[in-house]
Chains A and B, each alone.
Chain A
């Protein structure tokens, strides 16, 4: 193929985009990977070429299904046999073609010269072997070390990755480590034999924001110190902006753009890259009324379209796009696989942001929802037949005026989901008060609660399990109408459901389909439609977009903001992504280990975060702009979140707070109004 030929020629002739004029460490040339499934052949990777140079950090960016993980697995020779196999192209590591190596030759290489770090730290370590055993394995197999030598080196490595008390922890088991620590162990394992290249496949996606920052900083530091090339596979553009030197953007099994971080973020030359950048809510820019989305869905790789695979969704589509675009060379090593990249440059002017609608909370009205001193205790078994107490939610209070959105932000274990569940009375509260539309739900009778439930609804996180797989979409939407007799018969219900489907951007024909026939984004829309079916005044959104791809996230976010504006809907928006929360909320509550640490209006919070934890959260969240990121000092929050079974005394944050003093361990800081309307729970402000 033309693209393949070009790439093959260029590697020798062109200077590397990175300052040093070295040969690439790893060179993937026109790689093709196929999976033979029962339903046909899926060409997961279809003519992909990218290079990694010694010591650099290269990011491969794309949404799920684009083939980025598959190409990494192909490099490592870890494709799931017998279904997956490399069907074409070369993978040059130094002067060896990895696709031509025998299994035992490849096995020698793995873990020694190229190492890999996977996404799920919770399941990537063998639960029945000690950490020491798992660390020692590559040392003994590849480097022939004795047990004592391996142990010494393992202790060294654990120290390198920031795990304290290494000698003792070596004999512990994975379940005794937290997620972030396990990922550090994985990094240590990758480093054992001093590899030249480490491939990290979504290494921090499963981790909290602050831990994510720790792990990535560590990786970057090690890469620079030890001269190891790093390939980070991710869908998070912020991470790319902060850590990557160069990046490769993939879509539907092909490379669509390649270049340095500065180049791609400042002057993207492919509509997909542009679309991705535009659809991500940004912390560094003023709030936009709506996000630019990429319409449509990625193609089915069982039967990929001919020509440019992005053409269906592209606003620059023209007749020429029906032919396969090669990877065009642009200035300074940037490459784009778009026929019309020149036109793109002209149209990329700053598009004026859609105006923010005015949302004014009517001050004279009582808030729609009022929460006071809400608390939830859980009793969890802690082994040996004993029970421990977890105070998941501790003294949480806030108000939500009608027609506004309150965002609740925090990392895992902070209690935000539990708060939502208590408001919906899905989980009984231990103490406190929840008043919805004037009624205290704790003391409400079952009958009264039923009536209340019509007015408050919920949208869940996981689109795959939030719809009953045995009910058609139409049945799911009809059910509340029929149960509550809002309609007279089935036909009327169907009509309303069709209306609902249109409202959320789906075609009414979907009513006869079943959830497994819909995509994640479509299912989430159905979930929203279901919530709307009862015409509620209040919707709890529990991480509604966390499980979706970036471009789909933007679509759903726009839908929610649209509902905000057109219906005057009140939302409680629970999420861990600060930029997403900022986009939709008027007021924000920040939680840590069950307590509220800061409450403020959205703009106030992001402009001037008062509480050290909020500051840490904002520091940890990278912004998709390399220029800004280069200038930010790396201020990484240290330490691990404490165990909820054993919370620190006084201010629960003091164990990690840079400003903490002995006072902080003694007093529980009250939530006080530091600025008008801006509350923070810290004695150091």
Chain B
């Protein structure tokens, strides 16, 4: 088992390296000098001198390979360079916001899984009943409704119905849990709805498939209570593939966060990323992209390992 873990982690590294390489060079491939582009985009005519100085400051005058090496070194030591826009160290920019985004993501995931798993299962067990249709409609809607619009609707609802809007300043969870939750629950819901929809749909088809399997027929032929057939025989087999989906979708929560943080005025990673793109802050962009790739790889790894632990076909060989 340990061997397996080591091998998986080892496989991750070349992948991440490739991502880094790709991101780095893609952003250098942009026509025109990035500093120039950025400064010109900020408006106004800038003299060549200013541009040159900026380049030195950012370390962009060194040969590409050296730049890449520096960046890689930096990544390992958590020194991500400086943001082209704010001039502050990137690690500081990220640090403040990462906690917030991760908390929203985790909350969204928890809400989603708690809702989706039972709903998806029930929907499958009572196939073609009114519950099933209701769940199917709700989940299809979940895939169709943009999460940022849902966020806006939530705010609209809160304002109109309760005359209350979520707090705008961020308080960490440990300082004041109530304030923290009252701010973050809403974006978590907005983003979590879509997540829940995907998981519920997946679970529904997984359970339906499991119910068709031969071993279910065997269980019934043994005279096992129907409830046991479902709980002990069907669900474990149906939930196993769902774990992979839950893991993958968590990584994709970032996508939802990117837009939803804007709506709720949250100072998170998503918003930072959008701003970086808007302001052509390439050093920041490349670091954030790297970070996302790492997060994704880590989540994948955890899911694989979890799967390995839970599926007897993998553990006992």
Contacts and interface: CB of A to CB of B under 8 A. Distances in A.
Direct A–B touching, Cβ under 8 Å:
yes
Interface of A: 76, 78, 107-112, 115-116, 118, 120, 123-130, 137-138, 141-142, 172-173, 175-176, 186, 189, 382-385
Contacts of B311: 128
Closest A-B pairs by Cβ, 4 of them:
A111-B223, A111-B222, A110-B223, A383-B317
B314 interface: yes
Interface string B1-27: 001100100000000000000000000
A116 B214 CA distance: 13
How many chain B residues sit at the interface, stated as a range, is 20 to 34
Given A120-B214, A123-B215, A128 B222 contact: no
A115 B223 CA distance: 9
A200 to B, nearest CB: 12
B186 to A, nearest CB: 38
Interface stretch (B38-46, B93-101, B232-240, B249-257): B232-240
B189 to A, nearest CB: 33
Given A111-B221, A111-B222, A175-B312, 5 more contacts: A112-B223, A125-B218, A128-B237, A137-B219, A382-B317
Nearest to B10: A385
A158 B216 CA distance: 22
Nearest to A176: B316
Question: Main SS of the interface on chain B?
Answer: helix
Contacts of A111: 221-224
Contact of B240 (A116, A128, A141, A172): A128
B62 interface: no
A76 B223 CA distance: 10
Given A124-B215, A124-B217, A385-B3, A141 B316 contact: no
Contacts of B4: 384-385
B221 A125 contact: no
A129 B221 contact: no
A109 B223 contact: yes
A405 B214 CA distance: 40
Contact of A128 (B217, B221, B223, B312): B312
Contacts of A129: 232-233, 236
Contact of B214 (A108, A110, A124): A124
A125 to B, nearest CB: 6
Contacts of A176: 316
B213 A123 contact: yes
Given A172-B316, A384-B4, A78 B220 contact: yes
Which among B215, B221, B224, B311 has the highest number of chain A CB atoms within 10 Å? B221
Contacts of B225: 107, 141
A475 B12 CA distance: 48
Contacts of B314: 383
7 contacts: A78-B221, A107-B223, A112-B223, A118-B221, A123-B214, A125-B215, A173-B316
A642 B114 CA distance: 47
Nearest to B234: A126
B9 to A, nearest CB: 12
A176 B315 CA distance: 11
Contact of A78 (B3, B217, B237, B316): B217
B128 to A, nearest CB: 10
B206 to A, nearest CB: 13
A384 B8 CA distance: 10
B219 A173 contact: no
A175 B237 CA distance: 14
Given A109-B223, A141-B224, A127 B313 contact: yes
Which among A123, A126, A384 has the highest number of chain B CB atoms within 10 Å? A126
Contacts of A382: 317
A126 B221 contact: no
A173 B316 CA distance: 8
Given A120-B214, A384-B3, A385-B7, A127 B312 contact: yes
B217 A127 contact: no
A172 B312 CA distance: 9
Contacts of B233: 126, 129
Contacts of A189: 218, 222
Contacts of B313: 127-128, 173, 175
B228 to A, nearest CB: 8
A382 B314 CA distance: 10
Contact of A384 (B213, B217, B219, B317): B317
A137 B222 contact: yes
Contacts of B226: 107
Contacts of B223: 107-112, 138, 141-142
B3 A126 contact: no
Contacts of A120: 214
Nearest to A116: B221
Nearest to B316: A173
Nearest to B310: A128
B125 to A, nearest CB: 13
B126 to A, nearest CB: 13
